[in-house]
Structure 1
Amino acid sequence: MSSIHQAALKGYTASAETYVAGRPDYPVEAEAWLRDSVGLGPGKTVLDLGSGTGKFLPYLRRTGATLLAVEPVDAMRAIIERDNRDVRAMKGTATAIPLENAAVDAVICAQSFHWFGGKEAVAEIRRVLKPGGVLGLIWNVRDESVPWVAALSEIIDPFEQGTPRYRSGDWRRAFPADGFGFVEERHAQNHHVGSPERVIIDRTLSISFIAALPADERAEVERKVRSLIAATPELAGAGEVAFAYDTAMFAYRKNA
């Protein structure tokens, strides 16, 4: 995909600050994955592709690697630049990465690969990776084995209308990919802990296709989510809740 999906452009432009507040962090297992499977550490250079507001940058920073970020949505890239002075943040897309050939040791796509994960993007990622470099994909996915999380999905999903998402599995069609070998798939439990306002309301309103809705429809989604919270004993009146996620991690190595 050579252009930005309109749901991403419109939704994330409108909800950049809500995205920061509403999105979960990543579990400690992600740091082991970055070290052991992706191979990051001091002396390495990593590109955070589709970096959004830079939510994953602190995890990359702790590896000691040099950090680069590419983000096409201006409002989100502005937050990266504001909050991460040590990161070179660039405007670009997954099919037009503004780097030279073999420029980085790893490319990480955190909550982003489903937006652009076609053969053209994978070829461009391969171009900027050094021989033996790693493409790492990571997502926080709602754990719908929790009843109220499943009920929340029932409110959200009718508005999807074909918007790219991890759960559709369409991103998997990019693999097997020429020039890449599969390394591994890992999963870890994760919880976003905080007030219902932050971890449920802000999270829902930060979803691209929800944020892109007309104001009246977005308000109706918020009303339904608030009603769900009020009707769920473990949520109603709670000062703090734990929103359950499954964190999925994948690694692919560029052939020499």
Structure 2
Amino acid sequence: MAIVHKAAEAGFSTEAKTYTQGRPDYPREIQTWFRDALNISPGLAVIDLGAGTGKLTRLMDSMGVDVIAVEPVAAMRVEFSKHLPSTRIVDGMAESIPLEDGTAQALICAQAFHWFANETALSEIHRVLKPGGRLGLIWNVRDESVDWVAAITEIITPYEGDTPRFHTGDWRRPFNNGRFSELALTCFNYTHSGSAKSVILDRFLSVSFIAALPAEEKDRVAEQLMNLIQTHPALRGRETIEFPYQTHAYSCRRLD
């Protein structure tokens, strides 16, 4: 039986509110990608798998799409419902999606697929999509060519352990089963603007394996991040910080 990874269960339960405050949104241009790459249009059913607090769901909601959100962590579902009270959200996991066969025209995983990149989950995604339906996988990727962004990575990486991560590329492995067409990548530049607290401190304290740390170790990470904010010439004294990302959006088609 599939279970939620301990870092996700503990971290996202502890820091659901911080996740909402600190995580970047998505570029508006991705709505065009929804239409062109995933064939999403008003009135169609779309599943948001691993919906979290609804960061991506809000963009789809504004398009008149019939969104069904699926999220296994209770604290995240509570936070989701605060912001999207009229959107259906169900308790479920990728390996056992509580929806009928052929439910949706498209299924999207934003910042989530690396948590359940396995044969069982991909088989379930195939099942709940209509014939010819589309799968979209989205990640906001930090621009580590910027030195202070690379410094943040150095601070958090020692705590990563066995936590599934996008950057390893392991999430691609289950796509060798013939259920989906080849993945097509579209990239968007995106900047997360806000205070140092929101775009750096809240953002990285909400990272699953950091949020799951004992309080003393989490405080130590927060101290290192604050030291970077207070001493780096591109960050210190700034009311607003521009955090550079590139949004990677992958699409593929369900094969019969």
Query: TM-score normalized by structure 2?
Result: 0.97
Q: Note the C-alpha offset of 1:99.
A: 0.3
Q: Note the C-alpha offset of 1:183.
A: 5.2
Give the secondary-structure state (helix, strand or coil) at the position aligned to 1:2: coil
Instruction: Find the counterpart in structure 2 of residue 224 from structure 1.
Output: 224
Instruction: Find the counterpart in structure 2 of residue 37 from structure 1.
Output: 37
Q: Note the C-alpha offset of 1:182.
A: 2.2
The answer (yes or no) to whether the contact 1:44–1:104 under 8 Å persists in 2 is: yes
Matches within 5 A, 1:81-92: 81-92=81-92
Q: Note the C-alpha offset of 1:235.
A: 0.6
Structure 2 distance, partners of 1:181, 1:71, is 26
Structure 1 distance, partners of 2:144, 2:157, is 12
Give the secondary-structure state (helix, strand or coil) at the position aligned to 1:182: coil
Identity of aligned residues (%): 48
Instruction: Find the counterpart in structure 1 of residue 123 from structure 2.
Output: 123
2:183 counterpart of 1:186: no
2:27 counterpart of 1:27: yes
The answer (yes or no) to whether the contact 2:178–2:255 under 8 Å persists in 1 is: no
Q: Note the C-alpha offset of 1:82.
A: 2.3
Letter in 2 for 1:169: G
The answer (yes or no) to whether the contact 1:184–1:251 under 8 Å persists in 2 is: yes
Instruction: Find the counterpart in structure 1 of residue 100 from structure 2.
Output: 100
2:65 counterpart of 1:78: no
Give the secondary-structure state (helix, strand or coil) at the position aligned to 2:51: coil
Letter in 2 for 1:173: R
The answer (yes or no) to whether the contact 2:16–2:75 under 8 Å persists in 1 is: yes
Give the secondary-structure state (helix, strand or coil) at the position aligned to 1:134: strand
C-alpha offsets along residues 139-182 of structure 1, whole Å, 9 cap, x if unaligned?
00111011100011000101000201111111011213332112
Moved over 6 A (4+): none
The answer (yes or no) to whether the contact 1:37–1:183 under 8 Å persists in 2 is: no
Structure 1 distance, partners of 2:193, 2:236, is 15
Where does structure 1 lack aligned partners over 5 or more consecutive residues?
none
**How many pairs align?**
256
Instruction: Find the counterpart in structure 1 of residue 204 from structure 2.
Output: 204
Give the secondary-structure state (helix, strand or coil) at the position aligned to 2:11: helix
Instruction: Find the counterpart in structure 2 of residue 165 from structure 1.
Output: 165
C-alpha offsets along residues 64-95 of structure 1, whole Å, 9 cap, x if unaligned?
21010000000001112222122110000001
The answer (yes or no) to whether the contact 1:67–1:86 under 8 Å persists in 2 is: no
Structure 1 distance, partners of 2:183, 2:224, is 42
Structure 2 distance, partners of 1:154, 1:88, is 39
Instruction: Find the counterpart in structure 1 of residue 146 from structure 2.
Output: 146
Letter in 2 for 1:200: I
Instruction: Find the counterpart in structure 2 of residue 136 from structure 1.
Output: 136
The answer (yes or no) to whether the contact 1:52–1:76 under 8 Å persists in 2 is: yes
Give the secondary-structure state (helix, strand or coil) at the position aligned to 1:249: strand
C-alpha offsets along residues 230-254 of structure 1, whole Å, 9 cap, x if unaligned?
1111110100010111110001111
The answer (yes or no) to whether the contact 1:35–1:63 under 8 Å persists in 2 is: no
2:225 counterpart of 1:235: no
Instruction: Find the counterpart in structure 1 of residue 3 from structure 2.
Output: 3
Instruction: Find the counterpart in structure 1 of residue 244 from structure 2.
Output: 244
Letter in 1 for 2:89: A
C-alpha offsets along residues 173-222 of structure 1, whole Å, 9 cap, x if unaligned?
12133321125211111110000011000001000000000000000000
Q: Note the C-alpha offset of 1:33.
A: 1.0
Instruction: Find the counterpart in structure 2 of residue 18 from structure 1.
Output: 18
Letter in 1 for 2:109: C
The 10-residue stretch of structure 1 (226-235 or 216-225) with the greater mean CA deviation from structure 2? 226-235
Give the secondary-structure state (helix, strand or coil) at the position aligned to 2:125: helix
Where does structure 2 lack aligned partners over 5 or more consecutive residues?
none
Give the secondary-structure state (helix, strand or coil) at the position aligned to 2:9: helix
Give the secondary-structure state (helix, strand or coil) at the position aligned to 2:181: strand
